[in-house]
Amino acid sequence: MDIDSIKTEKDVIKALKDKTQFEKDVLVATFRIPKGKVSTYKRIAEKIKKPKSYRAVANALHKNPLSPVVPCHRVVKSDGSFGGPEKGAEWRRNMVIKERVTVKKGKVKISSKNLY
């Protein structure tokens, strides 16, 4: 499946046929984050009913084969910072800024207005 043809959750699930159920759950939950909003690794873990698995969520997103269609750039640490190597963190930070998410001193300013 061509990444540009992915438009729905069903398309995402179909494109992830070789992933574990956990990875599928994480990536589908991330796909649901609307433009201009962010979530945290912890909130994604809670949404998929695995509240203590936020580090595994980060690992699953690190291996996201459908970026940016599955917008892993919209998932940040609970303090609003961007995890991972600086080059990738910089790319994700720039992506959310383009989507009009407020970033101050390198961190997302998390509020009820922008949190999914």
Q: Which residues are catalytic?
A: 72
Judge contact between 75 and 38, C-beta under 8 A: yes
Q: Between β-strands 75-76 and 103-104, what pairing exists: parallel, antiparallel or unpaired?
A: unpaired
